[in-house]
Structure 1
Amino acid sequence: MKAEALLFGGVALFFGGSALLYGAWSRDPAGTAVLIVAFGMAALVSFFCAVQYRRRGRRPQDRGDSEVADGAGSLEFFPPHSPWPVITALGFAVACTGVVYGLWLFLIGAGVLARGVLGMVFQYATHRR
């Protein structure tokens, strides 16, 4: 994950520098905001990859002397049955529909979406590998 962290860190620096230059020269708030959001998203991915690299160390893909068999085995824990992805999708659909039809529907959808995301995040919070 070190290579990915550096790659996305470079992308984040590019978008950050572009946002500074674009904002200073054009005085366009919309374009500057888009570049700042792009910087934030790339920085977030870079931070995640860096944290995973620190936690888990080098992967077999990162080593030149590794074999294909070194990457075999259990990768992660994937739940076999979970209602939370369906609830999250339903909340997202209702929230998007609420953008068209009114704030009241958007707030209902946002609540269902938040519950679905929290359900997915904490479904196996006590699960041990």
Structure 2
Amino acid sequence: MKIQGKMFVWLSVFVLVMAIVYGVWSKEPAGTTALFLAFGLCIMIGFYLGFTARRVDAGAQDNKEADVADDAGELGFFSPHSWQPLALGIGGALAFLGVAVGWWLLYFSLPMVLIGLWGWVFEYYRGENRTQ
């Protein structure tokens, strides 16, 4: 993780320089603001990865003599069959469409977002997936 953290920190330095150059040359506020926000996101991710790398064991990506097979194995648990992201995505799309079309659409999208979020969070606490 150390190398990913360093990559994001260097990327944030590049984006900051580009944001300053773009802001001075173009005097366009929307693009300049977007670049400064991208800088903030890159620096947050870089510091998070650097902070996390100090707390966990070194991975194969941190070893210069490592092979691809050294990083093989289980990566985590991923839900094989879940409809909740679809409901959440449709509700989120309707919510953002409500900003463009009309705020009244949020009355229909908010329940869909809440149902999708609730179902996704508590998916493994009910039915056949319930743990005892």
Question: How many residues are treated as equivalent by the alignment?
Answer: 124
Flag structure 2 segments of 5+ consecutive residues without an equivalent: 125-132
Note the alpha carbon deviations across 1:68-115, whole angstroms, 9 max, x for none: 443232111112233321122111221233233211214643564466
What is the rounded CA distance, in whole Å, between the counterparts of 2:50 and 2:117 in structure 1?
24
Q: How does 1:16-95 map to 2 (within 5 A)?
A: 16-24=16-24, 26-95=26-95
Deviation at 1:33, TM superposition (A): 0.6
Partner SS for 1:77: coil
What is the rounded CA distance, in whole Å, between the counterparts of 2:79 and 2:9 in structure 1?
31
Partner SS for 2:74: coil
What is the rounded CA distance, in whole Å, between the counterparts of 2:42 and 2:115 in structure 1?
26
Residue 117 to residue 49, structure 1, CA distance change in 2 (3 Å): farther
Contact 1:7 1:46 in 2 (8 A): yes
- Counterpart of 1:12, as a letter, is S
Q: Which one has the largest radius of gyration?
A: 2
What is the rounded CA distance, in whole Å, between the counterparts of 1:65 and 1:39 in structure 2?
32
Residue 60 to residue 36, structure 1, CA distance change in 2 (3 Å): same
- Counterpart of 1:47, as a letter, is F
CA RMSD of aligned residues (A): 3.0
- Counterpart of 1:39, as a letter, is F
Residue 17 to residue 113, structure 1, CA distance change in 2 (3 Å): farther
Flag structure 1 segments of 5+ consecutive residues without an equivalent: 125-129
Give 1:3's aligned residue. 3
TM normalised by structure 1 equals 0.70
Contact 1:98 1:107 in 2 (8 A): no
Percent of residue pairs identical: 38
- Counterpart of 1:109, as a letter, is S
TM normalised by structure 2 equals 0.69
Deviation at 1:48, TM superposition (A): 3.5
